[in-house]
Amino acid sequence: MCLQSEVPGSAEVQTMRVYLRVRPFSKEELSDNEDQVQCVIESSQTVTLNAPKGSANMKSSEKGIGVSLHKFAFSQIFGPETTQSELFDLTVKSQTHDFLEGKNALIFSYGVTNAGKTYTIQGTPQDPGILPRVLDATFHYSEGRQYEGMDLKPYLRNDAQYLDPDQVKQERSAKAAIFASVKEVREVFLFVFFLVFFFLFFFSASNPTQADGSQFALWVSFFEIYNECVYDLLQPSLFSKSKKRAALRVCDDGAGNAYVKDLRWINIQNLREACKLLQYGNKNRSAAATKMNQSSSRSHSIFTMKLLKIDGHAVKWISEFSMCDLAGSERCNKTKTFGERLKEAGNINNSLLILGKCITALRNNQTDRTKSSYIPFRESKLTKLFQAVFCGKGKALMIVNINQCASTYDETLHVMKFSAVAKQVGLGTFWCERTQVIDSQALESYLSEEELLDEEDEADMSLLPQNELVNMIETLRTKLLAERRRNLVQEMEIRKEMGDAMLQQLMESEELRSRQIEDLKESYQEKLENTFEMYKDAIREHAYQSAMNNLEDDYVPLDEFIAEQEKVESSNVNTCSVLHSFLVQLILSLERRLMELSETLEKVRDSFLEKSADLEAQQRKTDDQVRPYTLMQRFGGSNVDLFYLFPL
């Protein structure tokens, strides 16, 4: 769930932009005489769907359940004749400008299988999609201002780290290894691919702002979520058939932002390198043939760009642009999947279902702020990674892709209903309220009964008597509540384990901090002693030089003294008096100097004592902070205590 509860004032809330793109019929579909869905684009923002015969929706409407005509509204609708360039200019161009100005953005394509999602995001070498056009605009914007070094690299979610020469050498070697493996692709394909991108580069319509002396570094990553496991698509080891791919962990930084640990980031300097990375990652992406798509993506792929604005050797800001190509939802009885493909389809549908739950919960929290709903961000890797964007740390944009085939009408209708809910979600942060306690009422609204039953199954159940239907609903409701309670108990156990692990981490951190304080105390003690000795030596040297200067100023040569003594023998008494007064003044001057030096030594000693007292106070404060956790570890704590001590 979102861990923020910011509530904007009177600022206008902007809803999520949701665009619809209708895919034209392919040659195979036209040759097979595929039945067409009556998809009527009434205006640039309104579309109507008529259920075809044989669909589950039409069967339900004929029995008096639901309707066969559905009307949906979008931010803008793009018909089959829309080109890739037009789609980019009217949807993503503004977000690209925000990305170049330091803001975060997220674009994800959503739709059923074989609806053109990957084509919209990546396109083809002859007709590039959104991703290569954003890369083109980025390099065109930073032309002549690229940071050539690779010693500044993104770290965690929003930070950057400096790399030493050995680390920079490792980065260059990893990059060279990837590009060397891409050379195996056909040179003709590469030539056409790069020719198109260089054409875009030199004839781009983007207008970069005036240079301000800053430089830019672009780092990219490419990974997929396959069967709820995160895999890096830019790892060279993926080409080894004998080695199993290593799954990466999704972790949280100190600010509550999710990131993929050990994910490889590659610094790119031009479009040619970007094209090679795309080819390399697509080659490693999980894909398989189904009845509805010969090359169906079996995973969610996320291509992320991080732009570092560098002023000298300081990073002014880091902006992030993520493009998520979601795998298409599908029904197994239509795609004829089984075995491994069936498991993949189940994980795909489950992650998309959780995404729908999050969108619905966000919409509900926005419309009724008096009743906060649980937002299950952490139930899926996909939603956990994009939780920060949905909570207001960036702008999200959805491109819904559909085809006009009657065989996928029911899935297309579900996609359209989901997009209608997503369009109502605001981009503010007031709907990301924190829910600390999950009560039975919140669990009741956590899942709706409509998500438990398929529309086709509901149509079949309508043939049963009403009493049996009521009894069946009550039975299912009882089982559902029991399952939810078991899940809540399991969540409590997980919270306890997390609490124990966090307590152990706190103890280790306390021990580490104690060692650091001791080392710091010893270091300060040594520095103070060295400073004290330096002051003593300086004082001795200064006193000696002052005395020598005074003696040189008042020194009288012996010859002159004897001559003068002979001249003033008669006034010997006066001369002795003068000499005596001079010696007295000299002694007084030396005594004053000695007092000043003593005061200086006293100030140095007082400063040393104050710093020692501060160190002891910090040690006592650290001990007081850790003592409660030490006592709780020694005497143990109840599940409830840990629940309130470490809320999600």
- Binding-site residues for ATP: 111-118
The neighbouring-strand residues paired with 21 are: 78, 401
SS3 string, 189-245, reads HHHHHHHHHHHHHHCCCCCCCCCCCCEEEEEEEEEEEECCEEEECCCHHHHCCCCCC
Q: Is the dihedral of CA 313, 94, 323, 80 positive or negative?
A: negative
Per DSSP bridges, beta strands 250-252 and 258-260 are antiparallel
CA distance 78 to 86: 9
The neighbouring-strand residues paired with 22 are: 402
Q: Which residues are annotated as a binding site?
A: 111-118
CA distance 308 to 160: 9
Contact partners, residue 100, CB within 8 Å, separation at least 6? 137, 138, 141, 208, 307, 319
Contact partners, residue 40, CB within 8 Å, separation at least 6? 47, 48, 49, 50
The Cβ of residue 194 has, within 10 Å, a number of other Cβ atoms equal to 17
Closest by alpha carbon to 517, among 428, 436, 621? 621
DSSP 51: P
CA distance 469 to 457: 12
DSSP 478: H
How far apart, in Å, are the Cα atoms of 20 and each of 122, 402, 420? 17, 8, 11
In degrees rounded to 5, what are phi and psi of residue 51? -70, 130
CA distance 240 to 177: 14
DSSP 125: S
The dihedral over CA atoms of 389, 391, 395, 396, expressed in degrees to the nearest 10, equals 70
Token pair 């975060």 in the structure block, residue: 104
DSSP 393: S
CA distance 36 to 21: 16
How many Cα neighbours within 13 Å face the side chain of 592? 7
CA distance 640 to 493: 11
Question: In 287-324, which positions are buried (b, 16+ CB within 10 angstroms) versus exposed (e)?
Answer: eeebebbeebbbbbbbbbbbbbbbeeeebeebbbbbbb
Both tokens of residue 376? 């299950």
Q: Are 513 and 629 in contact (CB under 8 A)?
A: no
End-to-end Cα, the chain, rounded Å: 8
Token pair 């002693």 in the structure block, residue: 529
Per DSSP bridges, beta strands 105-111 and 314-325 are parallel
How far apart, in Å, are the Cα atoms of 377 and each of 6, 361, 515? 18, 10, 38
> Helices 187-202 and 271-284 sit at what angle, rounded to 10 degrees?
130
